[in-house]
Amino acid sequence: MKTKAHTRYTDSTGKRVSSVTTVIGESLGWNKNMLIAWARREGMAGRDPHKVRDEAAEIGTLAHTLCENKILAKDSDMSDYTPNQQKTALICFTAFCKWEKEIKPEYLATEVKLVSEKLKVGGTFDGLYRLDGNLILYDLKSSKGVYDEMIIQLGAYTYMYEEMQPKAKIESAVILRLDKENGGFEHHDLSRSKLNWGFKAFKLCLDLYNLKRSK
């Protein structure tokens, strides 16, 4: 299996900084009950929640790789994945191809790594494209839905990207949810005001995260 390795982020002094996803995950409490309920349902159905989670992570990693390699015109090696993981990831990939054909994005970058010297956090988003002259940040998801923490995540990435590229202006962002069952997609546009809301929420998460670590 080829689960995506956790990226290590460091600031300009070489000091390690936390990731955006870690800050959000350790600060938000509203999904805890949902996770407990989900784990309980999986257990009652005779499934190991940890194995279900890990399987979803493998599929998500492969789906992201297939999509990125298509953009970069690179071949994809799926030999380390199980037949089921390959089949499901290819369904996501089919959804991505449908979206791409419909939207016709002009890709500018993929797998963009960020480190904010001001916030002391790091993160990586899936890419940037231009459409009708506008610079748009996008992130691929293979989850069952789109949740508030994803908006918070992209709000943080928008701020961080513009910190590192002062001349750039992100007009909007897109959460592209790829359906693992039917090969469809959901294109969720996030306006600049929605991204600003996400960043404000992230700052609150970061304050709480830093407060908890200072004990």
pLDDT tens across the length of the chain (215 residues): 454 557 899 999 999 999 999 999 888 765 555 555 545 665 666 766 567 667 888 999 999 999 999 999 999 999 999 999 999 999 999 999 999 999 999 999 999 999 999 999 999 999 999 999 999 999 999 988 899 999 999 999 999 999 999 999 999 999 999 999 999 999 999 999 999 999 999 999 999 999 988 87
Q: What are the start-end ranges of the H helices in the chain?
A: 20-27, 32-44, 49-72, 83-103, 148-164, 192-213
Q: Specify whether domain 21-213 bears CATH 3.30.200.20.
A: no
Locate the domains of the chain by residue range. Answer: 21-213
pLDDT (0 to 100) of residue 26: 87
pLDDT (0 to 100) of residue 38: 46
